[in-house]
Structure 1
Amino acid sequence: MSLVSFHILAIQLLIRSVSSLNITNEYLNHKCRVEQGKYQPGSEYEKDLNSITGNVATEKFVNGFVHSAIKDGTNSATVIFQCRGDSYRSKCNSCYATALAGFRKRCPRNKGGIIWYDQCFLDISMINEGAPRKVNYKNTFPMHNPNNVRGDTKLFNKKTNDFFQQLIAKADKADKDDIELLYYAAGEKRIGTNKLYAMVQCTSCLEWSISHLSKCCDGKQGARVLGTACNLSYELYPFLRT
């Protein structure tokens, strides 16, 4: 998929309703890294990729995140995988299997690509950026509920943004206190007659994501911004596992 078609798909997703419960492994979006080319069957890159994806499959996903790489000469097969904060451990394994199968189907023999599901994303590349990773805003996209909130939209937006700021602070504290809650926080808050449910994951680009949310999704009953470094979402109904 070219970068242009990726942006077109992202625009189409803006008018797509966020799934009603968000606890399935529903496919959301993908991007094949066409600029990295394709590997040949039986090549060293294929062997390295199969090896590293197989190793990741054995992970326990205690904090829902894996960054692993194999460097072989000029090749460097890299896998980055992250589950949503309420989908760690065995649920994370399930989403990883789904994401890997989805990547192979949608980006056959591509050396790299990204695929997003409700509960996880998988990023495969022949380039190892190391850690910490640089935030790539090109691989970020929004989605929103097609319905608008009733009442004072500006007040709803402000209260929602304020709540996201509280969750960011909570996520940052959780990372220091509990390895199993790595940069993740979720909560609920009453806003007028509405009850808002929200989550944030990772903190490096959440401020940017909040500003991006205001550009695409003002006054919407639900929305999310997804990427490869952080994500956030909110709804007027419970959408996370307790």
Structure 2
Amino acid sequence: MKFSYNLSKLFGFPILAIQFLIIHSVSSLNLTNEYLNHKCFLDQGIYNSGSDYEDKLNTLLRNVRIANYDLTGFLRASRGHAPYSVTIMFQCRGDSYGSKCNTCGDKAVAGFRRKCPKIKGGIIWYDQCFLWVSEIGEEMPLNTNYKNMFSMYNPNNVRGDAKLFAKRAVDFFSELTLKVEKNTKISVILYAAGEKKLGKNTLYAMVQCVELTIDCKSCLTWSITKLFKNGDIKQGGRVLGSNCDQYMVA
């Protein structure tokens, strides 16, 4: 099942995803490595060919492509010392570990080089993963900092009572958020997904936070409100970034 999305910029720190889809069954989901969006950190400047920065960046991006993602689809690595360091963070969707994650990693590395050539930092999102690169010699911010969030929507409206659907969908997202919160005590994989019958629609929803995020629940709770803003209730949508994600199809 493939959807045509329209991007709309929102205020917010980049989150990994909240997503929803209206489907016949979870098995009907189409997992692709489709490019979604990117942002180049132009304020970090550019690097020269053959420079020390390029050498460090190449090493880190090579690690993204060869890492073992069988147990967790997450990688964070740095080379050098501040202020001359490079840091990368890569994470796959909670249902895309192993070879699927490696394949998306290949896409993300190639896409970052193409979209942000010679730029020291940036973020790129694909359907099953995202890649974050920065010259800043410090840990990626662990607390949600709402700057670069963006949303995507299916163009079709839901069938039946749209307002009731939105209310029940938000309740379902809250249930999934609680599951993620419990997982933080026993697992580094901050991910939950499920499906629920809502009137004439079957809802598939997914929530996920980046492994390093401290305030996962706050990030997800805030981003859920962006799915149905202005009463615009569609059959599918995402809120994405680099701290948490939500995704749904109905």
Measured after TM superposition, the shift of residue 177 of structure 1 is 3.4
Output aligned runs, 1:1-242, within 5 Å.
10-11=7-8, 21-61=29-69, 62-72=71-81, 74-130=83-139, 133-179=142-188, 182-202=189-209, 203-204=216-217, 205-215=219-229, 218-236=232-250
Taking a change above 3 Å as real, the CA distance of residues 217 and 30 of structure 1, as seen in their structure-2 partners, is farther
Measured after TM superposition, the shift of residue 10 of structure 1 is 3.9
Amino acid at match of 1:208: W
The structure carrying a bigger helix percent of its residues is: 1
Q: 2: distance between equivalents of 1:73 and 1:115? A: 24
Deviation readout 1:61-109 (Å, 9 max, x if unpaired):
2211112111245212010111001101211111011100000011111
Q: Which position in structure 1 is the counterpart of 2:24? A: none
SS in 2 for 1:219: coil
With 197-206 and 128-137 compared, the bigger mean Cα shift is at 128-137
Q: 1: distance between equivalents of 2:139 and 2:123? A: 17
Q: Contact 2:159–2:200 at 8 Å: present in 1 too?
A: no
Q: 2: distance between equivalents of 1:54 and 1:152? A: 49
Deviation readout 1:148-195 (Å, 9 max, x if unpaired):
11222211111000000000111222343345xx11010000111211
Q: Which position in structure 1 is the counterpart of 2:17? A: none
SS in 1 for 2:120: coil
Any gaps of 5 or more consecutive residues in structure 1? Answer: 1-8, 237-242
Count of aligned pairs: 221
Taking a change above 3 Å as real, the CA distance of residues 217 and 97 of structure 1, as seen in their structure-2 partners, is farther
TM-score using structure 2 length: 0.82
Deviation readout 1:134-161 (Å, 9 max, x if unpaired):
3232221000111111222211111000
SS in 2 for 1:146: coil
Q: Contact 1:22–1:119 at 8 Å: present in 2 too?
A: no
Answer 1 or 2: higher relative contact order, Cα 8 Å, separation at least 6. Answer: 2
Any gaps of 5 or more consecutive residues in structure 2? Answer: 1-5, 11-20, 22-27, 210-215
Deviation readout 1:19-53 (Å, 9 max, x if unpaired):
x9441110011111111111000111001111122
Q: Contact 1:67–1:78 at 8 Å: present in 2 too?
A: yes
Q: 2: distance between equivalents of 1:166 and 1:100? A: 34
Taking a change above 3 Å as real, the CA distance of residues 95 and 216 of structure 1, as seen in their structure-2 partners, is farther
Q: Please report the RMSD computed on the Cα atoms of aligned residues, expressed in angstroms.
A: 2.2
Q: Contact 1:66–1:80 at 8 Å: present in 2 too?
A: yes
Q: Percent identity?
A: 54
SS in 1 for 2:226: helix
Q: 2: distance between equivalents of 1:73 and 1:197? A: 43
Q: 1: distance between equivalents of 2:54 and 2:9? A: 33
Amino acid at match of 1:214: F
